């Protein structure tokens, strides 16, 4: 276990470093002079920006230094928890991001819990009753669920809630600690929308993993020695079938964070998604960098944890 | 005439085997549809989409970008579906049906464009990475790892922020968003193929790497390419719609299905549900069509891939 954990953890560091390089490089893909772009001029209307202003901004951003020096100093400040100053709001990025990050994480965790609670039983039933009407229905449901665009589902949910229940997303937002009930009220529908999108996918993975395990010899042995069917499915099959489900859950969480961006803007949730969209509209690259880096770091860390957990759960992995 | 006499001189009983001498394309399609009704449905949807896109100016009742002027210069804002406007009009007075029909052009242009560039390009990268192994493979795999960690939509959004909104920039962004899942799927396929006896045999008789890739690996990858390409058209359509919905995709006057939903999300949905329902339905059906067709192609061409659907779909939203 020790070597496996070491190996996996050592791989994590260069990957995270590469993530910072790629996020930093994003800024350098901006065609033309980044300072000019930030000040709002395209290549065409540079006349509105004075050269002095440009020079000042270049100096403030450190654009007059070589790239690797810029990267090193940027990485240094990121490691010290300083994600820079927003170009648009002129406030430190972290101050803005802190609360929104928690909101987004809460929403994503809620959604993934809801999705797994529904999807795993659905996948199991579908596998156990393979090729029956029930299995067919749940497979059709999965195909539909995967093709359904999250934002359309969100719009339809808002419409249904407003038209039939006169419910509108509450305008104020309270954190979980201030007012748990209001917080739940605000987040439950976006979380359900998000969960639905992932339910189909997780149910599908569970079903195919279950089907694979159910062909194994040890299940036949268990049945032959007279173990109750419930125990065979619940104890013998499920334990092994859940391993691939756990593995995908890390990337699943990342995928879900993509959906969060859209759902937040539909349900007016003050999370990272609404901030990201705002920053894209204002071309606030410092904030965009910070958001992308934060999400990458969260998902990479989560994957590390899951891989380590996987090693604990499945001894075969450790000896590969 | 088949000789049914055996050496013993006895005639064999006619067991009623009918040999299909030649399979005409029509018959092949019919058989495919019979065995794979869902796949056939997907194929039909895709076909309908293609026809809609090709004949858009002929079948669309109104100009998609034009605000309609009725008698006395009245602008029909949010007219419900009826005989004049089959699917109603939108928030500035444009015909929704016409915009949906023309929107098929945008969706297909982005979908097919992104797949031709992206799936093809990343296919080559994945193949090369698996075949070359060593340092090349290690570097490519780390890049894939990082890009897998950021949701596809966020990668694409960040790139759109850099490039600025335009139709072709949407394609570029989606192509970059495809990198991780495509390279990963292709790499694992080629890795398992590399160990097959016929590749080992080819290497043993001294075939060059170029020959092995060109003559042995590539033809065997064709099925995987077709399957991935079909899935990723749906992937690209949904990403384009998401971008345009968020207002960073194509410019607002371009009739994109995603862009048509922006107004609906800003609280207009209760006033004009049709403006929010129909464009979304178009996206859903188009993506469903490509997914069903992809599933069917996979079952027919490459049944071994069944489990790999998980990877192929990992970033598909």
CATH classification at residue A246: 1.10.3720.10
Assigned domain for A136 exists: yes
* Residues A106 and A46 reside in one and the same domain: no
Q: Do B317 and A150 touch (CB under 8 A)?
A: yes
Which long-range contacts link B258-262 to residues 24+ away (Cβ below 8 Å)? Answer: B258/A151, B258/B283, B260/B90, B260/B96, B260/B99, B260/B100, B260/B103, B261/A151, B261/A152, B261/A155
Assigned domain for A40 exists: yes
Q: How many domains does chain A have?
A: 2
Domain end among A79, A108, A127: A79
Assigned domain for A177 exists: yes
Assigned domain for A86 exists: no
B79 pLDDT more than 60:
yes
Please write the tens of the pLDDT for every residue from A19-63: 888 888 877 766 666 666 666 644 444 456 677 777 777 777 777
Assigned domain for A300 exists: yes
| Mean pLDDT rounded to a whole number for chain B | 83
* Residues A116 and A47 reside in one and the same domain: no
* Residues A68 and A134 reside in one and the same domain: no
Minimum-distance CB partner of A251 among B148, B284, B291: B148
Q: Do B307 and A285 touch (CB under 8 A)?
A: no
Minimum-distance CB partner of B316 among A146, A254, A283: A146
Q: Which residues of A touch B261 (CB under 8 A)?
A: 151-152, 155
* Residues A255 and A214 reside in one and the same domain: yes
Assigned domain for A88 exists: no
Q: Do B157 and A280 touch (CB under 8 A)?
A: yes
Q: Do A257 and B151 touch (CB under 8 A)?
A: yes
Which of helix, strand or coil describes residue A25? helix
C-alpha span between A153 and A263 (Å, rounded): 9
B262 and B247 Cβ atoms separated by less than 8 Å:
yes
* Residues A70 and A105 reside in one and the same domain: no
Which of helix, strand or coil describes residue A85? strand
* Residues A248 and A161 reside in one and the same domain: yes
Domain end among A46, A79, A112: A79
Q: How much is the average pLDDT of B104-118?
A: 94
Q: Do B149 and A296 touch (CB under 8 A)?
A: yes
Mutation pick from B245, B256, B295 vs chain A, by most beta carbons of A within 10 Å, is B245
Assigned domain for A319 exists: no
Going by the DSSP 8-state scheme, the letter that residue A173 receives in this structure is -
- By C-alpha distance, the chain A residue nearest B307 is A208
Q: How much is the average pLDDT of B165-174?
A: 91
Report pLDDT for B232: 92
Could you report the predicted ipTM of this complex, rounded to two decimals? Answer: 0.82
Q: Do A151 and B309 touch (CB under 8 A)?
A: no
Q: Do A15 and B146 touch (CB under 8 A)?
A: yes
In the numeric block, which tokens belong to residue A147? 């093709």
* Residues A117 and A182 reside in one and the same domain: yes
Q: Which residues of B touch A158 (CB under 8 A)?
A: 265, 269
Domain end among A12, A45, A79: A79
* Residues A164 and A282 reside in one and the same domain: yes
A267 pLDDT more than 90:
no
* Residues A8 and A135 reside in one and the same domain: no
Assigned domain for A123 exists: yes
Q: Do A299 and B265 touch (CB under 8 A)?
A: no
Q: Which domain holds residue A42?
A: 2-79
0.80 exceeded by pTM? yes
* Residues A157 and A74 reside in one and the same domain: no
* Residues A70 and A101 reside in one and the same domain: no
Q: Which residues of B touch A150 (CB under 8 A)?
A: 242, 317
* Residues A229 and A124 reside in one and the same domain: yes
Cα B249 from chain centre: 18
Please write the tens of the pLDDT for every residue from A201-260: 888 888 888 888 888 888 888 888 888 888 888 888 888 888 778 777 777 787 788 888
């Amino acid at each position: 276990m020790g070597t496996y954990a070491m190996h996996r953890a050592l791989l994590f560091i260069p990957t995270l470093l590469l993530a910072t390089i790629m996020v930093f490089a994003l800024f350098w893909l901006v065609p033309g002079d980044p300072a000019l772009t930030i000040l709002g001029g395209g290549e065409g209307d540079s006349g509105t920006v004075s050269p002095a202003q440009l020079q000042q901004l270049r100096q403030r951003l450190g654009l007059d230094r070589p790239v690797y020096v810029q990267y090193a100093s940027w990485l240094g400040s990121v490691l010290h928890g300083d994600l820079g100053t927003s170009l648009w709001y002129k406030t430190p990025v972290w101050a803005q991001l802190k609360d929104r990050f928690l909101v987004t994480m809460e929403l994503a965790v809620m959604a993934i819990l809801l999705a797994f609670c529904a999807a795993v039983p659905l996948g199991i039933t579908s596998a156990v009753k393979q090729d029956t009407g029930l299995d067919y229905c749940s497979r059709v449901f999965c195909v539909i669920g995967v093709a359904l665009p999250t934002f359309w589902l969100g719009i339809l949910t808002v419409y249904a809630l407003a038209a039939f229940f006169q419910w509108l997303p509450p305008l104020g937002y309270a954190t979980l600690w201030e007012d748990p009930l209001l917080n739940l009220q605000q987040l439950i529908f976006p979380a359900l929308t998000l969960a639905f999108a992932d339910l189909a996918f997780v149910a599908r993975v569970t079903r195919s993993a279950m089907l694979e395990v159910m062909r194994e010899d040890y299940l036949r042995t268990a049945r032959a020695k007279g173990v109750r069917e419930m125990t065979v499915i619940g104890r013998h099959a499920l334990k092994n079938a859940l391993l691939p489900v756990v593995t995908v859950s890390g990337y699943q969480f990342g995928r879900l964070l993509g959906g969060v961006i859209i759902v937040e803007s539909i349900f007016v949730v003050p999370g990272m998604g609404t901030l990201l969209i705002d920053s894209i509209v204002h071309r606030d690259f410092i904030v965009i960098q910070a958001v992308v880096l934060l999400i990458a770091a969260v998902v990479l860390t989560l994957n590390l944890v899951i891989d380590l957990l996987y090693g604990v759960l499945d001894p075969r992995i450790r000896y590969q | 005439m088949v000789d049914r006499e055996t050496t013993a001189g006895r005639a064999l009983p006619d067991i009623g085997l009918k040999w299909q001498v030649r399979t005409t394309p029509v018959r092949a399609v019919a058989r495919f549809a019979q065995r794979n009704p869902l796949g056939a449905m997907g194929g039909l949807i895709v076909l309908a989409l293609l026809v809609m896109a090709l004949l858009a100016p002929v079948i669309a009742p109104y100009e998609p970008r034009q605000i309609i002027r009725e008698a006395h210069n009245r602008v029909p804002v949010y007219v419900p579906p009826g005989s004049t406007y089959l699917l109603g009009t939108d928030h500035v007075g444009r015909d929704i049906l016409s915009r949906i029909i023309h929107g098929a052009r945008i969706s297909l242009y982005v979908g097919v464009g992104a797949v031709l560039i992206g799936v093809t390009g990343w296919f080559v990268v994945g193949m090369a990475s698996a075949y070359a192994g060593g340092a090349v493979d290690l570097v490519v795999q780390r890049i894939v790892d990082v890009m897998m960690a950021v949701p596809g939509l966020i990668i694409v959004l960040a790139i759109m922020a850099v490039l600025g909104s335009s139709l072709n920039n949407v394609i570029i962004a989606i192509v970059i968003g495809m990198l991780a899942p495509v390279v990963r799927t292709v790499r694992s396929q080629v890795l398992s193929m590399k160990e097959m006896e016929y590749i080992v045999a080819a290497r043993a008789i001294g075939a060059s790497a170029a020959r092995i890739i060109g003559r042995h690996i590539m033809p065997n990858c064709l099925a995987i390419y077709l399957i991935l390409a079909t899935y990723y058209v749906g992937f690209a359509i949904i990403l384009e719609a998401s971008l345009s919905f968020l207002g960073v995709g194509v410019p607002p006057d371009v009739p994109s299905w995603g862009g048509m939903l922006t107004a609906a999300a800003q609280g207009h949905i209760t006033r004009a549900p049709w403006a929010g329902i129909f464009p979304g339905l178009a996206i859903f059906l188009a993506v469903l069509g490509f997914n069903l067709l992809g599933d069917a192609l996979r079952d027919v061409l490459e049944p071994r891939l069944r489990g790999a659907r998980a990877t192929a779909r990992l970033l598909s939203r």
